[in-house]
Amino acid sequence: DVLMTQTPVSLPVSLGGQVSISCRSSQSLVHSDGNTYLHWYLQKPGQSPQLLIYRVSNRFSGVPDRFSGSGSGTDFTLKISRVEPEDLGVYYCLQSTHFPPTFGGGTKLELK
Amino acid sequence: EVQLVESGGGLVQPGRSLKLSCAASGFTFSNYGMAWVRQTPTKGLEWVASISTGGGNTYYRDSVKGRFTISRDNAKNTQYLQMDSLRSEDTATYYCARHGATPFAYWGQGTLVTVSS
């Protein structure tokens, strides 16, 4: 299975600040169809995960432009600018290029 | 609004069976592939199984293959996860999820399955 490694595990932030979360895969996520199937989710406290970004850099419906995704191959980044209280929680990356789909271990975004 | 509501979780002894249901609303159920994803504090999020729109194609993670069966009833807008020969390591919160332009575009609230004697 493809191993997804997220860093850091915990990320203290001040409201209004900017943060980056890294996600690295054990093998390239470029599919034979040319697409890269790397996605980002946020799980707020007490809630189920919600999709934020799909295929590296596409914001899902309703996701504010404070969230941006980038990267290629095996190295990906989620950037959050102007952090708001509703952004706190655990962020997960997911790869679905290779079977089975696999998640990263999560990065907890919390207040300093 | 897309809604996915799981039910059927609970406490079950090792080796016994349990069947989860997921009632869908707010979209045309028969147009979307569906999945089950589970979460534990130690292993995190794990994809469990997926099913195609018509139910003809199913996919499982290795650790549940032969023990779990995913199915769907498009007339009832419901998907299921039949879990047999349950093990302690199957203890988790199980989420129903809908595929879309991406896997797991929408999630239910989850149902807790505890396998213990």
pLDDT in tens, B52-96: 999 999 999 999 999 999 999 999 999 999 999 999 999 999 999
Chain A residue at shortest CA distance from B111: A48
> Are B66 and B83 within 8 A, CB to CB?
no
pLDDT tens digits, A58-108 = 999 999 999 999 999 999 999 999 999 999 999 999 999 999 999 999 999
Residue of B nearest to A47 (CA): B109
Mean pLDDT of chain B: 97
- State the pLDDT at residue A1: 96
pLDDT value for B32:
97
- Which DSSP helix (H) or strand (E) runs through A21? strand A19-25
Torsion region of A46: left, alpha or beta (phi above 0 gives left; psi -120 to 50 gives alpha): left
Q: Which amino acid is at A59?
A: R
DSSP one-letter string for A36-81: B-EEEEEE-TTS--EEEEETTTEEPTT--TTEEEEEETTEEEEEE-
The CA angle B31-B32-B37, to the nearest 5 degrees, is 165
Interval B19-35 mean pLDDT: 98
CB contact under 8 A, B46 and A55: no
Asked whether the predicted pLDDT for residue B100 surpasses 90, the reply is no
Q: Report d(CA B83, CA B90) in Å as an integer.
A: 9
Question: Is the Cβ of A101 closer than 8 Å to some Cβ of chain B?
Answer: yes
Taking phi over 0 as left and psi of -120 to 50 as alpha, with beta for the rest, B7 belongs to beta
pLDDT value at position A88? 97
A73 vs B101, more confident: A73
Residue in A39, A48, A102, A103 with CA at minimum distance from that of residue A67: A39
How far is the C-alpha of B10 from the C-alpha of A98, rounded, in Å? Answer: 32
Report the residue of B38, B104, B109 to disrupt the A interface, i.e. the one with the largest count of A CBs within 10 Å: B104
pLDDT at A43 over 90: yes
Is the confidence at residue B101, as pLDDT, over 80?
A: no
Interchain CB distance below 8 Å, B104 and A48: no
pLDDT confidence of residue B81: 98
Q: pLDDT confidence of A27, banded at 50, 70, 90?
A: very high
Longest dimension (CA), chain A: 42
Q: Cα–Cα distance between A91 and B42 in angstroms, integer? A: 16
Tell me, what's the pLDDT at B69? 98
What is the dihedral sign for C-alpha A64, A42, A75, B98?
Answer: negative
Chain B nearest-CA distance from A55, in A, is 8
pLDDT in the model for residue B102: 86
Decide if pLDDT at B103 tops 90.
no
Give B94's contacts in chain A (Cβ within 8 Å): none
Partners of A105 on chain B (C-beta within 8 Å) are 44
CA distance A22 to A81: 15
Residue B52 CA to residue A27 CA, distance in Å, equals 27
Nearest by CB to residue A92, choosing from B45, B95, B103, is B45
